[in-house]
Amino acid sequence: MKDDCIFCKIANHVIESNYVYEDDLVCAFRDMNPQAPTHVLVVPKEHYANIVDGVPGDTLAAMAHAVDEVAKAEGIREDGFRVIANTGDAAGQTVHHLHWHVLGGKNLGEGLL
């Protein structure tokens, strides 16, 4: 746990949030500034800066499983949804603890950006 990291604190319940899913390796909670009817962040409990920070395979698998669980819980699995991992400054990553945005609950369109 990195002491000055907000997502370390949320993922380890030092600060409570609005959780949608949790297991031993990851948790998922609602984004405080939602960009879609469903906007949930999937984060590992261990601190990794982003997707290219040597993340172990079991953690990546747990994140993918959490995406599935969130999509089921939110009722967006059949219609479809989008997963985004902003990585580094050019992508506008503002919180430097690995997180996947899970967005859905409306038609997001074909454009990626």
Residue found by looking up tokens 């993922």 in the block? 11
Backbone phi and psi for residue 6, each to the nearest 5 degrees, phi listed first = -65, -40
Q: Which of 16, 32, 111, 112 binds ligand 5GP (CB under 6 A)?
A: 32
User: Element (H or E) spanning 65, and its range?
Assistant: helix 57-74
Cα radius of gyration (the chain)? 13
For residue 95 the two structure tokens come to 């919180």
Q: Which of 3, 4, 24, 33 binds ligand 5GP (CB under 6 A)?
A: 33
Q: Which of 28, 38, 41, 97 binds Zn ion (CB under 5 A)?
A: 97
x/- mask, Zn ion, residues 9-48, rule CB under 5 A, reads --------------------------------------x-
CA angle in degrees (0–180, nearest 5) for 20-79-23: 25
Tell me which of 13, 39, 47, 99 is the catalytic residue.
99
- 101 part of the active site: no
Burial of 92 (0-12, 13-18, 19+ CB in 10 A): exposed
6 binding ligand 5GP? (CB under 6 A): yes
Span 9-28, contacts to ligand 5GP by CB under 6 A:
17
The contact set with ligand 5GP (CB under 6 A) reads 6, 17, 29-33, 86, 92-95
